Structure 1
Amino acid sequence: MNGKTMFLRLNRGIHVFNHKESGFLWVLMRHKSSGGMRPKRKIYYRVDELDKVMELQKKPSLILKLINIIQSQKHKFIFLRDLEKEVGFVQKWNFMAVIERYSSIFYVDSGSCRRPYVRLTNKAEKIASEEHKVKSSMEPILVKNLRKLLMLSVDCRVPLENIEFIASELGLPCDFKTSLIPEYPEFFSVKEVDGKAHLHLENWDSSLAISAREEGFGRARDVSSCENRKRVRISKDGNFSGPFAFKMCFPPGFRPNMSYLEHLERWQKMDFPSPYLNARRFDAADPKARKRVVAVLHEFLSLTMEKRMRSTQLDAFHREFLLPSKLLLCLLKHQGIFYITNKGARSTVLLKEAYEGSVLSDKCPLLLHFDRFLSLCGRRDKHCNSPQVRF
């Protein structure tokens, strides 16, 4: 085989190989036969635009991290010589390059002390001054999503260390344990379970037990009565307008045959339990329960700010959500719903329907606020709905 050999290790007997020239991945799966173990090749198609999501995030993440470091200082600036203490010797040079390149955001001065320091420009400072108001508007969203996360778990509780592990993906502040949780005793409590601190849900709210998939179906549903609607055969893009269907986004180059589409139509029509029902009530071998697992993963990713999560972060919730042991194989199998990219430092799972090309289609107030910083350096997503910065 050409290209790099190992993409990621899923489970014993399963390997994924990367073919850059052909734009897809070979998934080798071991199947038992009378003659021993034989490999069966399946194609996992790459989507270049979704691979770019992680590449496009590198510079913005450095910019936003440096802004946060500057804003956390008492006098809203940091001496360049002290930058190494904050980010380390190697990363310091990456930040120095960012400071030099984005003069519309960062301003370097030496002042009377003749020691160079970096601060935000007046335009960037004006945007930063509004962050507190933006974070206040985000708080109800964060509380709601945190409650929904606990409702997804089998015991309505999650170890605090797991919440901390995905805090940035959820948009939670780094001090959420002291600044957010104590403010809502009617919703949350922290209790010790098996010697480990867990975040508990205090009250179940049935109005929150509606998944993002169901809300999307409600918005897209035709006003005509389902009883009077003529039967329409599933289209070649795999989408079906039934109440138990998922939105499919097949990768470029994927050409499903009729047998595949017929199987997918049966799967799309098959009803399944809500992801908010306790997973212990269902037999894991039941096809409906397996479809429910897809719904749990879909809902979990929908609760994040950028509708993506590292594979290691998903793995951390195996016990709380009773996820299958071959989790990544489940994700690979449903490549019309999820996408796994190995770009960046770690493999990342993205919810495909949340992206238009490489751009997140629906952004929360905090992401729109971050976009205003990026607009100062001339970077604007063509699908971005963030307002123009006015001064």
Structure 2
Amino acid sequence: MEPIIVTNLRKLLMMSLDCQIRLEKIELIESELGLPPDFRYRLIPMYPEFFSVRKVNGVDYLCLETWDSSLAVTAREEKLDLGHAPIRTKEIPRDGNIMGPFAFRLKFPAGFRPNKHYLEEVVKWQKMEFPSPYLSGRSVQPATPQARKRAVAILHELLSLMMEKRLTSDKLDAFHNEYQLPCKLLLCLVKNHGIFYITNKGARSTVFLKEAYDGCNLIDKCPLLKFNDSFVALIGRACLDLNNAVAA
């Protein structure tokens, strides 16, 4: 499991504006990333070729030591099936999904019935090129349709790096500067409701990556989550056996 955690942490830094993030912000999402609580002292020193902790203006930052181009591939790109030529048709897909190198997997809410004009705009957006989330944000021209789509791709990749493919909106917003996230983050998420799902829980909202879920169930669980499930099931079975033994 550790190599996966290390890889995801490297990718998180690679996407950031200066390949460095305040350590306290990493600690904010350590559980979502699967990092141990003391990762600064146990994990980081084990990989000096990848990470270092430096003080910048008196603040501790986790910094990337080496760039690996092989990691600069998003989860969206990894799932692309470009081996087959897209079927050419004049019909507009009712679910907004098309094949292409810049398309996202869409899952519209149940009961949502978009009209033809809406779907035409969705398909147009799906085909639009945009810079990779792993391309330096300083080279991206801001306030353009391509930059806005790239912001969606960054949010998609951030959630993909989390163990449960979800994160509270306040934690997402904490990385506003590092990833040049939209000023109106919730509006961006709501607008792209085919990609993200937002649920309210008390005063906070949680953002889910829709394609990662089948209803309420996470489709592909990482090894750590699978281990946790097995452990919980084992403990539950042990408790049940103990209760049965006591009852007997």
Distance in 1 (CA, whole Å) between partners of 2:36 and 2:105 is 32
Among candidates 143, 146, 151, match of residue 6 of structure 2: 143
Distance in 2 (CA, whole Å) between partners of 1:203 and 1:232 is 47
Name the SS for the 1:296 alignment partner.
helix
CA RMSD, 1 decimal:
1.6
Other-structure match for 2:172: 314
Among candidates 84, 91, 103, match of residue 224 of structure 1: 84
Higher relative contact order (CA 8 A, sep 6+): 2
Aligned CA distance change for structure 1 residues 232 and 211 (closer, same or farther; 3 Å): farther
Residues 133-178 of structure 1: per-residue CA shift (max 9 Å, x gap) = xxxxx10000100000000101000000000000000000001001
The worse-fitting range, judged by mean Cα deviation, of 364-373 and 138-147 is 364-373
Residues 338-390 of structure 1: per-residue CA shift (max 9 Å, x gap) = 011003563111000000010000001110011113334779xxxxxxxxxxx
Asked whether 1:347 is paired with 2:210, we answer no
Among candidates 316, 338, 342, match of residue 196 of structure 2: 338
Structure 2, unpaired ranges of 5+ = 238-248
Asked whether 1:193 is paired with 2:193, we answer no
Structure 1, unpaired ranges of 5+ = 1-137, 380-391
Q: 2:72 is aligned with what amino acid? A: A
**TM-score under structure 1 normalisation?**
0.59
Distance in 2 (CA, whole Å) between partners of 1:224 and 1:303 is 27
The aligned length equals 237
Among candidates 133, 156, 160, match of residue 19 of structure 2: 156
Name the SS for the 2:172 alignment partner.
helix
Residues 116-142 of structure 1: per-residue CA shift (max 9 Å, x gap) = xxxxxxxxxxxxxxxxxxxxxx10000
Distance in 2 (CA, whole Å) between partners of 1:344 and 1:371 is 26
Distance in 2 (CA, whole Å) between partners of 1:222 and 1:234 is 20
Percent of pairs identical after alignment? 63
Distance in 2 (CA, whole Å) between partners of 1:246 and 1:183 is 36
**TM-score under structure 2 normalisation?**
0.91
Q: How does 1:1-391 map to 2 (within 5 A)?
A: 138-217=1-80, 221=81, 223-225=83-85, 229-231=87-89, 233-343=91-201, 346-376=204-234
Equivalent pair of 2:19/2:63 in contact (CA under 8 Å): yes
Aligned CA distance change for structure 1 residues 356 and 257 (closer, same or farther; 3 Å): same
Larger Rg: 1
Distance in 1 (CA, whole Å) between partners of 2:90 and 2:44 is 49
Q: 2:181 is aligned with what amino acid? A: L
Residues 250-304 of structure 1: per-residue CA shift (max 9 Å, x gap) = 0111000000000000000001000001112122211011000000000000000
Q: 1:319 is aligned with what amino acid? A: N
Distance in 2 (CA, whole Å) between partners of 1:231 and 1:243 is 18
Q: CA deviation at 1:225?
A: 4.0
Name the SS for the 2:148 alignment partner.
helix
Distance in 1 (CA, whole Å) between partners of 2:91 and 2:103 is 14
Runs of 4+ in 1 over 3 A off after TM superposition: 222-226, 231-234, 376-379
Equivalent pair of 1:310/1:346 in contact (CA under 8 Å): yes
Equivalent pair of 1:234/1:240 in contact (CA under 8 Å): no
Q: 2:206 is aligned with what amino acid? A: T
Q: 1:352 is aligned with what amino acid? A: K
